[in-house]
A and B are shown apart, each in its own frame.
Chain A
Amino acid sequence: MTFLLDRPLDLHRLVATVSAPERGAVACFVGVVRDHDQGKPVRRLEYSAYGPMAEAECGRIVAEARTRWSAEVALEHRTGMLEIGDAAVAIAAAAPHRDAAFAACRYVIEQVKRRVPIWKREYYADGTVGWVDPTPVKRTAGQADGEAAPAESVSHNDWGV
């Protein structure tokens, strides 16, 4: 599966990918470009990635979710320039029952944020530009919610190295 796309994401296609007669629950998450960040009006976002490594890491995350919850999971992340309201990341997780579907979906988005080498550049309404650094608001190891984060992935840099 290719996880990084430079064209609009299609959640319905992802849902179709994971749906099956034995899976009675499909949980979805869509991350959308927001018009502000920390009080600053934002006009658009540009995503870039270390492609080969991002693909590999997304593959590992999806495989982990499949194994842990016996779920079928589909994940796509946009790259390139996005406008307000565009979907930046889309996830569909299907399982026989809703608890596993929700848990798998939540796991995938939290791990994508922690582990996948993707960066975003914000273009502000005042004409300035800035790289997003989420480090100050990241959870530390002592605060991480155990459900979302395997111990080995939680450290100062989220890679455990």
Chain B
Amino acid sequence: MTVSSDPTVSVRVLLFASYAEALGHAALTLMVPAPATVAALVRVLRARPGGELLPERPLCAVNLEQVRPDSPLQPGDEVAILPPLAGG
């Protein structure tokens, strides 16, 4: 972890379908470096093994609400990264 006056933020990450398969996890807890945003979390995920399957701007939800990539993250947030929807 880098030494910084800005604390990193710990969030609960949920992955689904092809993304869960690619990264080998359906749920994991990750530290996001400050300033912690959804986009910063996606960068952390994309750097993990299998993470190259994630687009730079995947569909994301924080605490069940759809969000933009620049949305800030708070400690303990539940962040869902959603592959292209295929219901119906």
Which residues of A line the B interface, CB within 8 A? 31, 47-50, 52-54, 56, 77, 88-89, 109, 112-121, 131-135, 157-161
Contact = CB atoms under 8 A, between A and B. Distances in A.
A121 B17 contact: yes
Nearest to A78: B87
Interface in B19-76: 21, 57, 59-61, 64, 66-68
7 contacts: A109-B88, A119-B86, A120-B86, A121-B17, A131-B18, A157-B57, A161-B66
Size range of the interface on B?
Answer: 20 to 34
A116 B60 CA distance: 13
Q: Is the interface of A mostly helix, strand, loop or mixed?
A: mixed
Contacts of B9: none
B84 A50 contact: no
A133 B16 CA distance: 13
Given A89-B88, A112-B87, A161-B66, 15 more contacts: A48-B16, A50-B80, A53-B61, A56-B64, A109-B88, A116-B87, A117-B85, A118-B87, A119-B18, A119-B87, A131-B21, A133-B83, A133-B84, A159-B59, A161-B59
